[in-house]
Amino acid sequence: MTSQSSVPDNRENFEAIYKLLQGEYPDAEPMLHFNNPLELMIATILSAQCTDRQVNIVTKQLFQKYHNVEDYANADWDELGKDIYTAGFYRQKSKHIIQSAQMIINEFGGNVPNNMEDLIKLPGVGRKTANIVLARAYGIIEGIAVDTHVSRLSQKLGLSKNTDPKKIELDLIPLTEKKNLENLSMTLILHGRNVCIARKPKCEICVVNEWCPSSEV
């Protein structure tokens, strides 16, 4: 059974909250650097339990060494692991990258899929990664990418009582127009990084503290 947040339902105030957060982060743009769908998929796989800044440091060299899906599919496991070591969990991530590249060649004609059903078949690609690839590489808004920040803030703000990312996504989708879902995800991520910090939220400077049921102000 999925545990649920005890924060009261606050979805009726979503529009006020989102408007204030948009004013705070008017240019909520993705931070991961990439040149094509494959690079974005790999960068997003690397971003698990790692900061975007560190991922960009890793991929700056990685993308110069591996140029296409064949390079990744034929990569040596140990060597690729060393190349991505500083992104953390390098053994699992290198395995996922190589296996995904092989699957892309064998089942998808060498192209990163442009639909949710096929993307989530790839090793290391869940709904979060798939939503990011679809939105940022293909301009397709399928849902909302729920990372740790989006999950935590959705519960703190009373926008979802669920802790399961897929259920949180289903709770958030009806709150705004489909075209806004990518922006909503990035806005919540930025607010989570800058103000609503997990260890010590800065409620005193938060622009939505009066609308937040978890506010300590």
pLDDT in tens, 22-44: 999 998 888 999 999 999 999 99
Q: What is the pLDDT of residues 42-80, one digit of tens each?
A: 999 999 999 999 999 999 999 999 999 999 999 999 999
How far is 47 from 70, CA to CA, in rounded Å?
A: 22
- Which band of pLDDT confidence, cut at 50, 70 and 90, is reported for residue 3? low
Q: Catalytic residues, which ones?
A: 128, 147
β-pair partners for 4: 162
How far is 3 from 24, CA to CA, in rounded Å?
A: 31
How far is 103 from 109, CA to CA, in rounded Å?
A: 9
How far is 23 from 130, CA to CA, in rounded Å?
A: 28
How far is 167 from 150, CA to CA, in rounded Å?
A: 12
The domains located in the chain, with CATH, are 11-29+145-211 (1.10.1670.10), 37-138 (1.10.340.30)
How far is 143 from 178, CA to CA, in rounded Å?
A: 8
How far is 3 from 142, CA to CA, in rounded Å?
A: 26
Mean pLDDT of 193-213: 96
Identify the residue whose tokens are 């806004």: 180
Nearest to 183 by CA among 137, 119, 136: 136
How far is 205 from 57, CA to CA, in rounded Å?
A: 31
